[in-house]
Every structure is written in C-alpha cells, then in structure tokens.
C-alpha cells in the first residue's frame, strides 16, 4: 500500500494542514502583551490576598460574621443541603433560637462547598475550613477576570486591563476578598460585576443568551448578598435614563425583561429573600419598569402608525389613565404596608440624615458616613480619576456610557452615605478610572506612533504632542499606579490580620491569643446545665461577639451579629447598664450563667465594651423603654469643658465594674497613661482609689459575680501575667431568693 494512502500518509496530510494553518495565522503583538499583562495582574491580585499566609499568620477566619457562614458550610457538608434549610440553631438568640436556613443567604456557605468538592475531585484533601479560608481569594480572582471583560465590553481591551488592575489591588475590594474573609461580599461583588457585564452585552448585541446569563448572575447575587437590592434597582434606574435620553429600542426591552424575569425566578427560591415578600419596593420597581418599557415601546410604535391628531388624543387619555392607576397602586401599596418593610439599614443609606434616630445602625462604625481620608485610603488615586471618567461618559453619551454614568454616580452617593458601601464603589471606580486613563493615554499613544489622522485639527495637535510629551504622560501614569500599588500592599498587612488574633501597640507581628483562649474556655466549661435544670448554660455578652461565642466557643448566647431581634439586644444592653442587684434579676429570666466582657484592659480606644457602653444605653432606650434606661441618666454634657461627663449610674453598671475591677491587685488600667503596661514601669498603673474613673467603691467592688477566666492580655512578662486582661468571663452567683426577685421584676416591667 502506498505511503500516500496509508496511515502515515493520512497523518502527513493532517500535519501539513496544521502547519499551513499556523503559517497563515498571525499572533498580534498587542494580543500577547494583553495576555501577559492580565496574567501578571491576576498573579498580583492573588498574592496580595494571601499576604497573611506569607507573613506566617495563622489561617484564621476573619471578622465576626464569617464564623456563622463557616459553621453553616460544615453543616451542609455533614448533614446535607436539605437538612441545612430546616436547621434550627438552638444555641443562638436564646430562648428563641435561629432558623439558619431561613435567615442566611445560601450563596456563601455553598461557595465553600463548591471549592471543597472541586479540589477533592483532584484527590487534594482539604478541610471545609481550609476551603472557606481560600474561598474569598478564589472568588476575588474570578472577579478580576470578570472586571477585565466588563471594561473590555464597555470600552476596550485597554480599559479592561486597567479595570482588572484596579480591582486586583483596590483596598476597598481587597479588604473583603482577602484570605479568611469568608462572607457575602466576595461572592456578591463577583456576581455584581458579572450581572453588569452580561447586561451591557445584552443591550448592545440584542441576543438571548447574554440577558439570560445576566439574569442568572443577578439571581445568584440575590441569593448571596443583601446588597442585591442596589443592583436590582440600579438596572431599572439606568434603563429609565436611557429612555429619557431616547436610547430605547427593542434590544433594551428584551435584555431588561429577560434579565429581571430570570433573576426574580431564581432569587425567590431563597427563603431569606422570599421572606421579604414579592410585594416589596425593591421588587416592584423592577417589575413595574417592565410594564413601563412595554407601554413606551407601544407608544413609539403608535406614533409611527397613527396620524398626529389621533395620536395626541390617545396620548392624553393614556397619560390620565396611567396617572389614575399609579395613584391607586401607590394607595394599595401604602395600605398593605409595602413601603414599611424596607429594612432600617437601607433607609439609612438612602436618607443618611435620619441615621442617628436608629441606634442599632449608628452603633456600627462601618455604617458611618464616609470621610475624605477613608475614601482616599480605600480607592486612592481613583478618587481623582473618577470625575474624569464621568466627564468622558457625559462627553459621549452612548447607551453604554449613560449606563456607566448612572452606575458611577449612584455608587458614589451610597458609599458616601455609608462607609461599608465603598465596596460597591470599587467596581465602578475601577471602571471609570480605567476609562479615564485609557482616554488620557490614547492620544499620546497615537502621536507617539505617528498614527493620528492628518486632519487640520489633528495636525495642530501633533505639533504640540510629540513623543517626549507622550513619554512624560506614560511615566506620570506609571508612577501613580506604582504609588497606588505600594499603598495597597501596605494596607494588605492590616487586612491579613484576624480580628480574633489582633496585634496591639508595640508588638508588631505578634498576634494576641486572648480571644481564642476565652472561647476555648467556653468550649470546655459552658456545656453543662445552666441555672435551671435541663436548660443550657447561657453566656451573655454584647452582640458583637455572639457569632464567636456560639460558633467557635460552642456555647449558647442571647444575641449575635445578625441583629435580627432588636428588642433582645436592648434587653442585653439593659442588663449590662443596670447595677448588680437589679441586673441579676433580669439575667435569671434569661438563664444567664456567664457574662463575657471585652475589657481591653480598660482601653476604650481599642474597642472595649466601655467604649460601647453609650450604644448599650441608646439601643436599650429606643427598643425597651420600659426598663427606664436613658442617656441623660448615664452621661451629662459639661458646658464649661465642652465634653461628656460620666454620671453615677455608669460607675455602678455591670459593664463598667466587670471591665475595670481587678480583684487580684486592686489596680486598674488607666487611659491617662498610654503604652503597654510592664512591671518595670509602675507609672502607668493607677490605683483604683486614686482614679475616679476606676473607683470601684466597696470592699471587693463586685457583688453576685465571680471571675472564672481572664486572658493573658497586655502583660509583657510572667510577672504581669493576667494583670491586664483583654477578655474576662464572670460566673453569675445568684442570691438564694432570686426566683422571687425575678418574678417581682417581671411584674414591675411587663412586656410591651
């Protein structure tokens, strides 16, 4: 058989076709540089998010909220997803409990399960905790890729690269996608960017696949993060502006309708979303926008098919009818209470002026208005590039640019209203800044390469912009980007540290283990029966530490970081601010056996409970006024000095006395003497009797409480061990007649 017709001949011809194909295929230099740049950006983005591991920090889950997400992922892994949906967590919000599958967004715990499953397919054995730890990095990596495609679809591949670069190192996003920050944000921003990308692609191309993918992305976002409300209402707002700008076409109507129908169909599978109700403002606005677009489309069609007089008459009748229907609709909504079911947190974002009237919102530092310093710290040079990006959008108001303009302006407003929402600003700031740099350098690039068209106007331009000017422009932008990178790397050290193992004062790189010690003590000692037989041993603390106590300490708590029951939070605030004899009566009602206080050695500046006392008072005053807690009773304005003075009830409160009292030495840490306490520096020690802030009065200063745990704290040697604790746990020692005293208290303060 001839070699031309045999197997060798067949392979020879096949190989020749491959060679001929690649001989005709030219790989552009720009494409190679683009891919190399994107790979480098992704590499930097991953390294900066894994900074803690390279520094040798323990791979601890960060912050407070992620711990409930971790426990949920572990539960799904062991018990299954169906069991998770119906999981009743009895150790939270005692005695009411917590329906985890109905209260949490499913996206976060499932995200770790997905990573865990994919990694184990390749026989790489990791724990679910390790999967949760790397989860933010994985989804941050995917977000950088999605940001590249968003910038590329919106403007160009150059804009895509700059967008990806900014998202890879922007502190606003890095802080929420660093290793260990296993919470809603890393998932939420990924699907926010994907929703925007697919939606822009949808109304540009007019196909069916893109809007369907946009709807899927938005649906997953709805099931993963409470900030879905912003994106779900951003789309109809942007579409409204496109209608006003006369950019409406059937591509836009098709894209919007498919996106919203798909998203709502998926999103309402999650009980947490379904509980908010379909007839809510954030849902009705997108739905009504579909009706509005159909009506506007019909009007446009009729304007081309009817004579002017008939069309004018129909328009008047239609407008009056629509106005009447709108009034009826709003009246029905008001009667059904639809406008009242928006959470206080979201009202506080829309109308920040009323935030002070909602203490539970105002008490969180992340809910405060943005300052210029915080804005610059979070987005750095993008602060100055955003206005230029907005200018270019206004200068050329295409459909895409109008969409980006609405997106950018709204994120600027909301992030200014609440610091936490600077995360929403990160993608829009990155896109706008990328547009600004791309447009700035584009003219210089053409001039440097001699590619500017020789029109009279551009001939004059080339005479003033030569290669020297282009080099200077590139050098300045490069310098700014390097400066931004250094700033982000420096901040990444701070983000890498876990709040459970913080670093204090002059001990850089030496994390504190106080919280871990305290929570492990709870694991070993708070598992027996409580005050009443056949009831759990309840640990009371301020709500900040609830997730740690239940999910790491494996103990039962009264409140946690979900803040779902404001009345119970106010009740805990009351127990912390009342004096010993009154507080124990209320504690007995809730079966409290242990009280945990974050004393921070009396240093309110580092987040101690003493510094949070004002919020215990304000929340108690607003949610459980029957207990008589008022701010005026605990604090008074000193008109001469112009500051706030403590009143006598504050010094008698449980939170103050348990935080400040040192039963072993009779000494307390004084905020008047900064620094780390040491036995060789007695000048920073203040005797209780000599310091009115820590004058505890009485022989032992504490009644009805016995200290059972204190952390090592700020001690710098074995001599000082446990003298300056950061975390303290007290056991409640109830009087013999506590049942009678508690009953009398209940009759004195009946529930509202």
**pLDDT tens by residue, 123-175:** 888 999 999 999 999 999 999 999 999 999 999 999 999 999 999 999 999 99
Same domain, 518 and 436: no
How far apart, in Å, are the Cα atoms of 283 and each of 227, 287, 293, 407? 13, 6, 16, 19
In the structure, what pLDDT confidence band is assigned to residue 448 with cuts at 50, 70 and 90?
low
Per-residue model confidence (pLDDT) at position 746? 85
Give the whole-angstrom CA distance, residue 455 versus residue 437: 24
Contacts made by residues 514-519, CB under 8 angstroms, sequence distance 24+: 514/711, 514/712, 514/713, 514/725, 514/726, 514/727, 515/548, 515/711, 515/726, 515/727, 517/709, 517/711, 517/712, 517/727, 518/553, 518/596, 518/709, 518/711, 518/727, 518/729, 519/548, 519/549, 519/552, 519/553
CATH number for the domain harbouring residue 527: 3.40.50.12610
Per-residue model confidence (pLDDT) at position 683? 31
All residues at 6 or more sequence positions from 692 whose CB lies less than 8 Å from its CB, including other chains: none
Give the whole-angstrom CA distance, residue 29 versus residue 38: 14
Write the DSSP assignment of 231-293 as a string of letters.
HHHHHHHHHHHHHHTT---HHHHHHHHHHHHHHHHHHTTSHHHHHH-SSSHHHHHHHHHHHHH
The arithmetic mean of pLDDT across residues 67-85, rounded, is: 94
Give the whole-angstrom CA distance, residue 643 versus residue 639: 7
Per-residue model confidence (pLDDT) at position 450? 56
The arithmetic mean of pLDDT across residues 329-342, rounded, is: 65
Query: What's the CA angle centered on 338, arms 336 and 339, to 5 degrees?
Result: 125
Convert the pLDDT of each residue in 578-602 to its tens digit: 998 899 999 999 999 999 999 876 6
Domain assignment present for 675: yes
- DSSP 3-state of 302: helix
Domain assignment present for 16: no
Domain assignment present for 458: no
Same domain, 191 and 274: yes
> Where does a domain end: 411, 442, 473?
442
The arithmetic mean of pLDDT across residues 45-70, rounded, is: 88
Domain assignment present for 503: no
The arithmetic mean of pLDDT across residues 171-185, rounded, is: 93
Per-residue model confidence (pLDDT) at position 417? 82
Same domain, 521 and 425: no
Convert the pLDDT of each residue in 341-353 to its tens digit: 556 666 666 666 6
* pLDDT greater than 90 at residue 381: yes
Q: How many CB atoms lie within 10 A of CB 314?
A: 14
**Which alpha helices (DSSP H) does 562-670 contain, by range?**
566-577, 580-589, 609-623, 631-634, 648-651, 654-660
Same domain, 434 and 526: no
The arithmetic mean of pLDDT across residues 646-666, rounded, is: 74
Give the whole-angstrom CA distance, residue 267 versus residue 256: 16
Lowest mean pLDDT among 107-116, 409-418, 584-593, 691-700: 691-700
Task: State the residue for tokens 């062991």.
Answer: 78
Across the chain, mean pLDDT equals: 82
Domain assignment present for 635: yes
The residue among 228, 211, 322, 230 whose CA lies nearest residue 267 is: 228
Structure tokens at 720: 């000082």
Same domain, 227 and 96: yes
Same domain, 532 and 417: no
Give the whole-angstrom CA distance, residue 85 versus residue 22: 54
Per-residue model confidence (pLDDT) at position 463? 53
Give the whole-angstrom CA distance, residue 141 versus residue 113: 18
Name the more confident of 451 and 674.
Answer: 451
Convert the pLDDT of each residue in 202-247 to its tens digit: 999 888 999 999 999 999 999 999 889 899 999 999 999 998 898 8
Residue-range definition of the domain harbouring residue 301: 52-442
In the structure, what pLDDT confidence band is assigned to residue 535 with cuts at 50, 70 and 90?
confident
Contact between 333 and 326 under an 8 Å Cβ cutoff? The reply is no
The residue among 569, 583, 558 whose CA lies nearest residue 619 is: 569
Same domain, 100 and 209: yes
Per-residue model confidence (pLDDT) at position 468? 67
Same domain, 575 and 438: no
Let me know if 212 is exposed, middle or buried by CB neighbors in 10 A (0-12, 13-18, 19+): middle
* pLDDT greater than 50 at residue 570: yes
Per-residue model confidence (pLDDT) at position 530? 79
Same domain, 424 and 526: no
* pLDDT greater than 90 at residue 660: no
Same domain, 534 and 417: no
Lowest mean pLDDT among 92-106, 349-363, 426-440, 467-481: 349-363
Q: How many domains does the chain have?
A: 2
In the structure, what pLDDT confidence band is assigned to residue 572 with cuts at 50, 70 and 90?
very high
Same domain, 223 and 367: yes
CA 482 to chain centre: 27
Domain assignment present for 727: yes
- DSSP 3-state of 343: coil
> Where does a domain end: 442, 457, 473?
442
The arithmetic mean of pLDDT across residues 348-364, rounded, is: 66
Give the whole-angstrom CA distance, residue 511 versus residue 726: 13
Domain assignment present for 265: yes
Same domain, 155 and 301: yes
In the structure, what pLDDT confidence band is assigned to residue 744 with cuts at 50, 70 and 90?
confident
The arithmetic mean of pLDDT across residues 423-440, rounded, is: 94
Domain assignment present for 681: yes
Write the DSSP assignment of 371-399 as a string of letters.
PHHHHHHHHTTHHHHHHHHHHHHHHS--H
> Where does a domain end: 391, 417, 442?
442
Convert the pLDDT of each residue in 300-315 to its tens digit: 776 666 666 776 766 6
* pLDDT greater than 70 at residue 516: yes
Convert the pLDDT of each residue in 452-481 to its tens digit: 554 555 555 455 555 666 777 778 888 899
Per-residue model confidence (pLDDT) at position 133? 94
pTM summary value: 0.86
Per-residue model confidence (pLDDT) at position 58? 77
Per-residue model confidence (pLDDT) at position 395? 92
Give the whole-angstrom CA distance, residue 604 versus residue 607: 5
């Amino acid at each position: 058989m001839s070699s031309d017709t045999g197997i060798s001949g067949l392979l020879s011809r096949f190989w020749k076709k491959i060679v001929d194909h690649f001989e005709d295929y030219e790989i552009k230099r720009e494409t190679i540089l683009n891919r190399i740049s994107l790979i480098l950006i992704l590499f930097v983005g991953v390294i900066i998010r894994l900074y803690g591991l390279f520094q040798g920090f323990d791979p601890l889950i960060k912050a407070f909220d992620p711990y409930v997400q971790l426990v949920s992922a572990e539960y799904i892994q062991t018990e299954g997803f169906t069991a998770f949906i119906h999981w009743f967590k009895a150790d939270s919000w005692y005695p009411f409990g917590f329906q985890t599958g109905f209260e949490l967004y499913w996206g976060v715990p499932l995200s770790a399960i997905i990573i865990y499953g994919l990694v184990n397919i390749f026989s790489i054995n990791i724990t679910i905790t390790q999967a949760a730890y790397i989860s933010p990095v994985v989804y941050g990596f995917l977000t950088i890729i999605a940001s590249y495609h968003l910038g590329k679809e919106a403007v160009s591949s150059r804009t895509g690269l700059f967008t990806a670069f900014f998202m890879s190192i922007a502190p606003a996003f890095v802080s929420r996608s660093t290793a260990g920050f296993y919470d809603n944000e890393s998932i939420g921003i990924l699907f926010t960017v994907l929703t925007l990308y697919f939606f822009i692609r949808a109304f540009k191309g007019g196909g069916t696949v893109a809007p369907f993918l946009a709807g899927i992305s938005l649906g997953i976002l709805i099931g993963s993060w409470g900030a879905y409300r912003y994106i779900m209402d951003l789309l109809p707002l942007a579409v409204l502006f496109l209608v006003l700008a006369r950019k409406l076409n059937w591509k836009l109507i098709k894209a919007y309708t498919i996106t919203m129908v798909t998203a709502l169909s998926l999103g309402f599978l999650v009980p947490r979303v379904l509980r908010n109700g379909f007839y809510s403002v954030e849902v009705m606005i997108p739905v009504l926008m579909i009706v509005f677009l159909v009506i506007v489309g019909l009007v446009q069609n009729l304007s081309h098919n009817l004579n002017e007089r008939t069309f004018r008459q129909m328009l008047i009748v239609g407008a009056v009818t629509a106005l009447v229907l709108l009034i009826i609709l709003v009246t029905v909504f008001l009667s059904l209470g639809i406008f009242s079911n928006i959470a206080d947190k979201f009202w506080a974002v829309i109308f920040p002026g009323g935030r002070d009237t909602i203490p539970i919102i105002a008490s969180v530092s992340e809910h405060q208005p943005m300052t210029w310093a915080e804005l610059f710290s979070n987005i750095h040079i993008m602060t100055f590039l955003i206005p230029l990006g907005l200018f270019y959008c206004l200068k050329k108001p295409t459909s895409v640019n109008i969409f980006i303009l609405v997106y950018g302006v709204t994120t600027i407003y909301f992030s200014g209203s609440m610091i936490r929402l600077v995360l929403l600003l990160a993608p829009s700031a990155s896109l706008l800044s990328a547009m600004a740099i791309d447009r700035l350098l584009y003219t210089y690039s053409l001039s440097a390469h001699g590619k500017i068209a020789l029109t009279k106007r551009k001939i004059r331009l080339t005479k003033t912009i030569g290669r020297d000017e282009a080099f200077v422009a590139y050098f300045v932008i490069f310098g700014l980007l390097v400066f931004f990178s250094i700033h982000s790397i420096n901040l990444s050290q701070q983000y890498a540290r876990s709040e459970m193992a913080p670093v204090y004062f002059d001990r850089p790189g030496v994390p504190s283990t106080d919280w871990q010690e305290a929570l492990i003590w709870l694991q070993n000692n708070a598992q027996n029966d409580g005050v009443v037989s056949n009831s759990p041993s309840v640990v009371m603390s301020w709500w900040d530490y609830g997730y740690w106590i239940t999910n790491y300490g494996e103990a039962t708590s009264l409140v946690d970081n979900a803040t779902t029951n404001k009345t119970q939070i106010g009740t805990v605030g009351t127990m912390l601010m009342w004096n010993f004899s009154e507080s124990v009566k209320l504690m007995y009602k809730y079966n409290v056996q242990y009280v945990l206080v974050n004393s921070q050695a009396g240093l309110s500046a580092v987040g101690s409970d003493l510094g949070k006392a004002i919020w215990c008072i304000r929340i108690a005053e607003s949610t459980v006024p029957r207990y008589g807690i008022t701010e005026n009773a605990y604090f008074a304005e000193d008109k001469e000095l112009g500051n706030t003075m403590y009143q006598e009830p504050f010094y008698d409160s449980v939170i103050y006395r348990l935080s400040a009292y040192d039963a072993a030495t009779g000494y307390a840490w004084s905020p008047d003497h900064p620094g780390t306490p040491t036995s060789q520096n007695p000048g920073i020690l203040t005797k209780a009797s000599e310091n009115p802030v820590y004058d505890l009065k009485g022989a032992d200063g504490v009644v009805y409480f016995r200290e059972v745990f204190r952390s090592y704290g700020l001690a710098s040697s074995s001599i000082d061990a446990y003298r300056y604790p950061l975390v303290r746990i007290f056991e409640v020692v109830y009087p013999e007649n506590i049942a009678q005293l508690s009953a009398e208290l209940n009759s004195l303060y009946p529930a509202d």
